[in-house]
Amino acid sequence: MTNSENVLKDLFVDSRSKRNLSIFYAFGMALLIYQAAVFHVFKIDEIETKHDIDSFELNFVESSESVDESRTVDDGEREVVTYDVSESMFQSNSGMGLLLINVAYGETSGEIADPCDTVTVDLVPNQVPADWNNAANVLTGTSDNCESISLQLMVFPEYSGSTTTVEGGTQQQWIQAWTNPDYGNGEFELGIEVNVNAPITSGIPTVQDSDEEVTITWEAVFFEVSVTQL
Ligand SMILES: [Ca+2]
Ligand SMILES: [Ca+2]
């Protein structure tokens, strides 16, 4: 008989060991009952705490800065125009929600029956803090019928402008979460490319279409957040 077998035999045969085992089981049961009680109390506590969580309504009031700029781009060329939002906008608002860009053009050659040129624009993702990967972004666009092109960049993460209800935290914490002067603060870069579509009369030396003038409107949409406890 090995030592370990001896131990097992002793444990079950020896009456003192049997008593020890009974004490052990009793203690184990007591522990289980205690744990169940603690769990029950904790759950009740947790449920009560849930009723104590504050709810807040977030409201956003928007205001914008708008800037126009015209640029003549030669046929086959790509130019980059830049835009810095005024620092005062960051100081007087909670944050910048989004950037809207409109690019308009016509046919300015003055030639009869000169078709609209092809204009392609792209907002260059760069180091300006913004929600560059947001699915709602429209960073490129093209037009060949003189209709204007609209782009959109979501700037402040998760900003939608809609009134929302949130739970937990404090009023001050929610104001802080929605106050940040960094998003949108920097130099945006818009690439503009023009490819002319010449009139059919362009074989005549005096008839030329070699460029197009585009007008870019930058609109930086800011918001002021207000937080109301419900
Ligand atoms: Ca043209
Ligand atoms: Ca043109």
Q: What is the pLDDT of residue 1?
A: 45
pLDDT bracket for residue 229 (50, 70, 90): very high
Compute, in angstroms, the gap from residue 196 CA to the centroid of ligand 2. Answer: 6
Query: CB within 5 A of ion ligand 2: which residues?
Result: 109, 117, 209, 212
162-203 pLDDT, tens digit each: 999 999 999 999 999 999 999 999 999 999 999 999 988 656
Q: CB-side exposure of 67: number of CA atoms within 13 Å?
A: 12
CA distance linking residue 74 with residue 71, whole number of Å? 10
Neighbours of 26 (CB within 10 A): 10
Q: In the chain, what are the domain boundaries?
A: 3-52, 55-229
Angle between helices 15-52 and 3-13 (to 10 degrees): 80
What dotted CATH number matches 55-229? 2.60.120.380
Q: Which of helix, strand or coil describes residue 19?
A: helix
Q: Tell whether the model's pLDDT for residue 13 goes beyond 60.
A: no
- The sign one gets for the Cα dihedral 163, 168, 173, 178 is negative
Which residues have a Cβ under 8 Å from the Cβ of 83 and sit 6 or more positions away?
67, 69, 187, 188, 190, 218
Question: Among 39-43, 52-56, 122-126, where is mean pLDDT lowest?
Answer: 39-43
69-128 pLDDT, tens digit each: 999 999 999 999 999 999 999 999 999 999 999 999 999 998 888 999 999 999 999 999
Question: What Rg, from alpha-carbon coordinates, does the chain have?
Answer: 35
CA distance linking residue 142 with residue 121, whole number of Å? 6
Q: Tell whether the model's pLDDT for residue 11 goes beyond 90.
A: no
Q: What is the mean pLDDT of residues 149-169?
A: 97
CA distance linking residue 204 with residue 200, whole number of Å? 9
Cross-strand bridge partners of residue 71: 214
Which residues have a Cβ under 8 Å from the Cβ of 65 and sit 6 or more positions away?
85, 86, 89, 219, 220, 222
pLDDT bracket for residue 131 (50, 70, 90): very high
Compute, in angstroms, the gap from residue 67 CA to the centroid of ligand 1. Answer: 26
Compute, in angstroms, the gap from residue 218 CA to the centroid of ligand 1. Answer: 25
Ligand nearest to the CA of 115: 1
- pTM metric for this prediction: 0.76
Compute, in angstroms, the gap from residue 95 CA to the centroid of ligand 2. Answer: 39
Q: What is the pLDDT of residue 206?
A: 61
Q: Tell whether the model's pLDDT for residue 22 goes beyond 90.
A: no
